[in-house]
């Protein structure tokens, strides 16, 4: 097995998940069979699938037991590859589904962004085993509590809050499978931050209580709980719905203020392209898309998404990869507003997300997930950045492009005398000053052949390659 390739999941007591061809196969343990069948055959479950809020389910009885087959998401992503607005969309879906489930006699027992994947700009719940029956009138007081509340705070709310208050990157969730503990964050905040409206209730108060309990002796203090109080079903439902509504409000408030960067205005303020040259480039790419009509496109270095949108408008399902955080956020907002099938991934191709988890096999690498998933890869105004800023050899870039596309590569070559190339070269003329178009063609030999070539008025060259 390839290092970093996910093995069967093992954390859910109800079943395990494996990948098999075009499907994700969930094998249900015998002890959970009846409850799972009750849920997947319910009208509520069918409604979620019909709306697209939950992954589709095909029930299959096999010698191995009950299995649920789900169509594999073409480009699955993890929370550490999301923008803040993607986190918010995933959080809102989680809270909304929990609220709707309560009216149907179910409740979400898990609330983590790891249970959500994106299809285009839309979040989709993929962990169908997260639902369990909800009894609004049990023998104790637990029905008025949402048991996944603490997990939601740790995995959804606190990462967003730290991104807003301390500029902690959301990518840090890579190392926090079960989120942040309030105590560890409390120590990082100043007193004004601790007492702020945003942090006091979800962070400071529980952190102080944990510290006080630790001083008194955790077990002894925990034993002195108030006796259970009986709740009516109506009151239990009301209390949980109030909790969900409050979490919605607090999650929206935790969103960082949107700020641009030098790259969010890149297409508007660029100086190495005149309006006429930009139009010439756009028109050439448009003709390529019109003629070839690729079904799936990977746009590497998508920036604000001009070419991602163009590909989507020509019928492609688009994955847009952008390493600048503010620009990726802008791109995702654009895809939502325009309702185009564009999936945003905030990641750096030169430093792609690694495999993590037990034996590095609970989640797979970004490159493994993108490999051969796209009919066409766009690398427009990208490779000179990889060469000059990340010092990636030209041949290695073409090798990677070869693994990512299963048919076409659209590439923009930036010559050495280009103003941007000169700016990024930073005096390393002995290393990069002699790079030429011939070097590109030699690096692509035995992998690609040229179908089209267009020189722009500014000297840059557009290529359409096809795999050999």
What gap in Å lies between CA 327 and CA 269, rounded to an integer?
14
- Partners of 125 in the beta sheet? 54, 116
pLDDT value at position 223? 44
3-class secondary structure, 255? coil
The DSSP letter of residue 256 is P
What does residue 238 show for φ and ψ, rounded to 5 degrees? -60, -45
Nearest-Å Rg of the Cα atoms of the chain is 25
Number of alpha carbons in the 13 Å side-chain half-sphere of residue 212: 8
| Helix, strand, coil in percent for the chain, rounding step 5 | 45, 20, 35
Nearest to 79 by CA among 154, 11, 156, 150: 156
Q: Please report the DSSP string for 388-427 in residue order.
A: HTS---HHHHHHHHHHHEEEEEEEEE--TTSHHHHHHHTT
Q: Which residues neighbour 119 within 8 Å (Cβ) at sequence distance 6 or greater?
A: 52, 73, 343
pLDDT value at position 216? 80
- Partners of 364 in the beta sheet? none
E strand or H helix that includes residue 217 = none
3-class secondary structure, 319? strand
Contact 392, 384 (CB under 8 A): no
Helix axes 84-102, 158-166, angle to 10 degrees: 150
Please state the three-class secondary structure of 109-177 as a single string: CCCCHHHEEEECCEEEECCHHHEEECCCCCCCCHHHCCCCHHHHHHHHHHHHHHHHHHCCCHHHHHHCC
What gap in Å lies between CA 413 and CA 409, rounded to an integer?
12
E strand or H helix that includes residue 243 = helix 233-254
What gap in Å lies between CA 157 and CA 34, rounded to an integer?
34
E strand or H helix that includes residue 346 = strand 342-346
Nearest to 130 by CA among 234, 221, 40, 8: 40
What gap in Å lies between CA 346 and CA 86, rounded to an integer?
10
Nearest to 85 by CA among 114, 115, 121: 121
Continuous H helices in 293-393: 306-313, 325-338, 366-370, 383-388
Tokens of 168: 């902690």
The position carrying tokens 């709306």 is: 51
pLDDT value at position 391? 95
- Burial (CB count within 10 angstroms: exposed 0-12, middle 13-18, buried 19+), residue 62: exposed
What gap in Å lies between CA 453 and CA 196, rounded to an integer?
58
Tokens of 45: 């479950």
Cβ atoms within 10 Å, residue 35: 15
Please give the average pLDDT of every successive group of 10 residues along the chain, which has 468 residues: 60 88 93 95 98 97 91 95 98 98 95 97 96 78 79 97 96 94 95 95 94 74 48 84 96 86 53 84 98 98 97 98 96 97 97 93 94 97 96 97 98 96 92 95 96 96 97
Cβ atoms within 10 Å, residue 201: 12
The CB-based long-range contact list for 14-22 (8 Å cut-off, 24+ gap) reads 14/129, 15/68, 15/129, 19/72, 21/72, 22/71, 22/72
């Amino acid at each position: 097995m390839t290092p970093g390739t996910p093995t069967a999941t093992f954390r859910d007591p109800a079943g395990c998940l494996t990948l098999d061809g075009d499907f994700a196969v969930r094998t249900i343990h015998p002890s959970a069979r009846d409850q799972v069948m009750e849920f997947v055959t319910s009208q509520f479950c069918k409604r979620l699938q019909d709306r697209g809020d939950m992954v589709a389910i095909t029930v299959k009885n096999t010698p191995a037991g009950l299995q649920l087959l789900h169509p594999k998401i073409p480009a699955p992503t993890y929370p550490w590859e999301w923008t803040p607005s993607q986190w918010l969309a995933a959080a809102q879906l989680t809270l909304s589904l929990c609220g709707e489930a309560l009216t149907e006699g179910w409740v979400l027992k898990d609330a983590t962004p790891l249970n959500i994947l994106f299809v285009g700009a839309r979040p989709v719940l993929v962990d169908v085993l997260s639902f369990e029956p909800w009894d609004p009138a049990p023998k104790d007081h637990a029905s008025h509590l949402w048991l996944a509340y603490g997990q939601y705070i740790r995995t959804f709310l606190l990462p967003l809050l730290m991104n807003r208050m301390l500029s902690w990157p959301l990518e840090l969730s890579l190392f926090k499978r079960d989120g942040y503990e309030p105590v560890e964050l409390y120590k990082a905040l100043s007193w004004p931050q601790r007492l702020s409206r945003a942090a006091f209730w979800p962070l400071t108060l529980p952190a102080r209580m944990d510290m006080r309990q630790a001083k008194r002796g955790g077990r002894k203090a925990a034993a002195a709980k108030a006796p259970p109080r009986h709740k009516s079903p109506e009151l239990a439902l009301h209390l949980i719905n109030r909790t969900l509504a409050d979490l919605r409000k607090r999650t929206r408030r935790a969103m960082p203020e949107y700020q641009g960067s030098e790259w969010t205005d890149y297409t508007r303020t660029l100086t190495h392209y005149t309006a006429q040259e930009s139009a010439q480039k756009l028109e050439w790419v448009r003709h390529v898309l019109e003629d070839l009509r690729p079904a799936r496109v990977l746009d590497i270095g998508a920036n604000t998404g001009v070419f991602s949108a163009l590909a989507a408008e020509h019928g492609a399902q688009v994955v847009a990869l952008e390493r600048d955080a503010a620009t990726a956020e802008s791109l995702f907002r654009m895809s939502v507003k325009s309702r185009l099938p564009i999936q945003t991934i905030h990641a750096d191709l030169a430093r792609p997300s690694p495999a993590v988890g037990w034996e590095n096999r609970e989640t797979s690498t970004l490159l493994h997930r993108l490999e051969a998933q796209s009919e066409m890869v766009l690398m427009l105004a990208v490779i000179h950045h990889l060469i000059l800023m990340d010092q990636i050899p030209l041949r290695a870039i073409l090798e990677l492009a070869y693994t990512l596309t299963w048919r076409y590569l659209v590439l923009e070559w930036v010559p050495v005398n280009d103003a941007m190339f000169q700016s990024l070269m930073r005096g390393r003329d002995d290393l990069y000053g002699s790079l030429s178009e011939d070097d590109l063609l030699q690096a692509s030999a035995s992998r690609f052949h040229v179908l089209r070539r267009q020189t722009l008025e500014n000297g840059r060259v557009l290529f359409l390659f096809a795999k050999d």
